[in-house]
Amino acid sequence: MKRAQIQQSIDNLTLILTAHENALIAFAANPGLTSYSLDSGQTITKVTRADPKILYDTMDSLRNQLCTLQTRLTGTGVRHVRPGW
């Protein structure tokens, strides 16, 4: 991937992750709220208060993808160096 494509993917993932975080915040701030519409900028998905595990699992996956792309963009990462003896 080219740098511009990677950056665009990072921006998209950030927006989607923010939408998921906003859903969790809305549920926490409003105990009577039973459903929330997630607007990722591409699609609108309705989630319910009964879906927190799905939201957390999706957010973990998004964060992992985001970290991978950020590493590709900056060229940094973890390298394991072992002695040659």
pLDDT at 64: 93
Number of domains into which the chain is organized: 1
Q: Does residue 84 lie in a domain region?
A: no
Q: Does residue 43 lie in a domain region?
A: yes
Residue 77: Cβ within 10 Å count: 10
Q: Does residue 9 lie in a domain region?
A: yes
Q: Does residue 77 lie in a domain region?
A: no
- The range of the structural domain enclosing residue 11 comes to 3-72
pLDDT at 69: 92
Q: Does residue 82 lie in a domain region?
A: no
Instruction: List pLDDT tens digits, range 44-64.
Output: 889 898 888 888 999 999 999
Q: Does residue 85 lie in a domain region?
A: no
The SS3 call for residue 59 is: helix
Strands (E), 1-85: 35-39, 44-48
> pTM value?
0.78
